[in-house]
């Protein structure tokens, strides 16, 4: 059994992830983690497990357990300190990290496995691969723009996923940043639409999430991947290739 803890357990995604791990036949939920000072005993937030403050992680959880982090960027420093002591792999879905924080994650990845993605749906890595293919293939006269749409309560604009996709495209294509337009409308779960056009043709590619569960489809494969590795920082694309029927 893979021992798994959820960091950011009180959040909307944290609650969904808790149920997801508990339902996995090959995983055992061993910890729920929140901000220090918000601890709760077993039987309150969760029937079986206490809600641990971040500062208690290394002294309370089993060594080597996989920690899933869907929290806030500001919690990263404390999480890395505790996780290093615990020798625990990380699966990170938090967004909004600074360059210094990304460097800290890369450094952590030299000694422990880290899977990091702005979006754990299956469709987003596929969209990224298509964008990079188009970046290599379309003639230089084609311009690209992105529109991302989410629910009205989403705070970051543009979304972490939109920034990630734009960076992936630009790394291959070069040139200026891809114009990205953000919409916050009603209860839209998440949509990312790319339009490519020159004077003669237009190409449109979209990804639409139908439910929040779509954002978690890659989490359990990522946990299994992280539990099987020695070290290294990877994205969801590498995980999906590792788990594909014809992999290896």
Residue 60 burial by Cβ neighbours in a 10 Å radius (0-12, 13-18, 19+): middle
Catalytic residue chosen out of the listed positions 7, 46, 151, 154: 154
DSSP assignment letter at 179: P
Judge whether 154 counts as a catalytic residue.
yes
Give the residue from 21, 222, 193, 37 showing the smallest Cα distance to 118: 222
* CA–CA gap between residue 181 and residue 159 (Å, rounded): 10
Spatial distance between the Cα atoms of 193 and 183, rounded to a whole number of angstroms: 12
Per annotation, catalytic residue among 46, 87, 150, 164 = 150
Q: Please state, in angstroms and as integers, the Cα–Cα distance from residue 76 to each residue in 15, 40, 166, 240, following that order.
A: 19, 21, 24, 25
Residues 6+ apart with CB under 8 A from 16: 212, 213, 216
**CA trace torsion 172, 175, 176, 181 (10° rounding):** -40
Catalytic positions? 150, 154
């Amino acid at each position: 059994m893979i021992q798994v803890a959820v960091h950011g357990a009180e959040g909307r995604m944290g609650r969904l992830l808790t149920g997801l791990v508990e339902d996995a036949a090959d995983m055992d939920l061993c910890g729920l983690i929140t901000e220090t000072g918000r601890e709760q005993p077993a039987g309150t937030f969760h029937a079986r497990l206490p809600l641990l403050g971040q500062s208690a992680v290394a002294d309370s959880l089993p060594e080597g357990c996989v920690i899933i982090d869907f929290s806030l960027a500001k919690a990263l420093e404390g999480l890395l300190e505790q996780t290093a002591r615990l020798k625990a792999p990380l699966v990170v879905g938090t967004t909004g990290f600074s360059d210094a924080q990304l460097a800290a994650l890369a450094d952590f990845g030299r000694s422990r496995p880290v899977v990091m993605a702005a979006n754990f749906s299956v469709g987003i890595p596929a969209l990224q691969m298509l964008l990079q293919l188009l970046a290599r293939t379309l003639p230089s006269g084609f311009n690209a723009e992105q529109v991302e749409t989410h629910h009205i309560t989403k705070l970051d604009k543009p979304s972490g996923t939109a920034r990630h996709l734009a960076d992936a495209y630009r790394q291959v294509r070069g040139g200026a940043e891809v114009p990205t337009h953000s919409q916050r409308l009603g209860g839209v779960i998440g949509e990312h639409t790319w339009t490519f056009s020159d004077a003669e043709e237009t190409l449109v590619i979209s990804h639409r999430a139908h439910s929040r569960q779509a954002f978690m489809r890659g989490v359990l494969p990522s946990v299994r991947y992280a539990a099987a590795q020695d070290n290294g920082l990877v994205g969801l694309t590498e995980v999906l290739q590792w788990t594909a029927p014809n992999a290896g």
